[in-house]
Amino acid sequence: MRTLAAFTVLLALSGIAAAQTTTTYTMPDGLICQTVEGCYYHNLTASAPDGSTLWGLFEAGGYWTQFDYQAFQGQNPGYKALYCNGTAVWATATMDNGGTQYVMDCQATPDGTSSDPQAKVHAEIEAHSFVVTYVCGVKVRTICHQTKWAVDAGTLAITR
């Protein structure tokens, strides 16, 4: 019985000792989206331990929200991915500058694109809305208005 208890404690301690790693990607500012929660965030970058640049694409969009790993800037599709598969949960808050902070969390899996373990994906995006006015209509010209979102800052963290 003592051996089993000691083995259980050893397993518990090894679980505590196993360090989680987080890779944080930065989103370029200035991206324009129809909606923040339904946008493709291209050219995310992070620094690898060897100092090289890691590239990624964050595809926000309901059930299909995912992160694609890219071997080089603009690679699409990526060489592997993490899929939220309906687990993405978004929250928003109004910032002091009048913009909106969006926060997304999901539990993601590689779904056969690699043997990587599951990961927690956490995105924080600061954006502000603006209205675009343009002439529309084919037979009868009229003025249309559309709200768009400009990304001011953002990060996406992957924790395993």
Q: In a structure prediction context, what are the per-residue pLDDT tens digits for the chain, which is 160 residues long?
A: 444 344 333 334 444 556 899 999 999 999 999 999 999 999 999 999 999 999 999 999 989 999 999 999 988 788 999 999 999 999 999 999 999 999 999 999 999 889 999 999 999 999 999 999 999 988 999 999 999 999 999 999 999 9
CA distance 7 to 1: 10
CA distance 81 to 69: 6
Q: Flag whether 5 is in a domain.
A: no
Domain that holds residue 76: 21-159
Q: For the chain, what is the domain count? A: 1
Q: Flag whether 48 is in a domain.
A: yes
Q: Which residues of 6-35 are buried (b: 16+ CB within 10 A; e: fewer)?
A: eeeeeeeeeeeeeeeeebebebeeebebee
Query: How far apart, in Å, do the first and last CA atoms of the chain sit?
Result: 33
Q: Flag whether 10 is in a domain.
A: no
Q: Flag whether 14 is in a domain.
A: no
Q: What is this structure's pTM? A: 0.84
Q: Flag whether 126 is in a domain.
A: yes
Q: Say if residue 154 is exposed, middle or buried (CB neighbours under 10 Å; 0-12, 13-18, 19+).
A: buried
Q: Flag whether 2 is in a domain.
A: no
Q: Flag whether 72 is in a domain.
A: yes
Q: Which residues pair with 158 in a beta bridge?
A: 23, 121
Q: Which residues pair with 156 in a beta bridge?
A: 25, 123
Q: Flag whether 13 is in a domain.
A: no
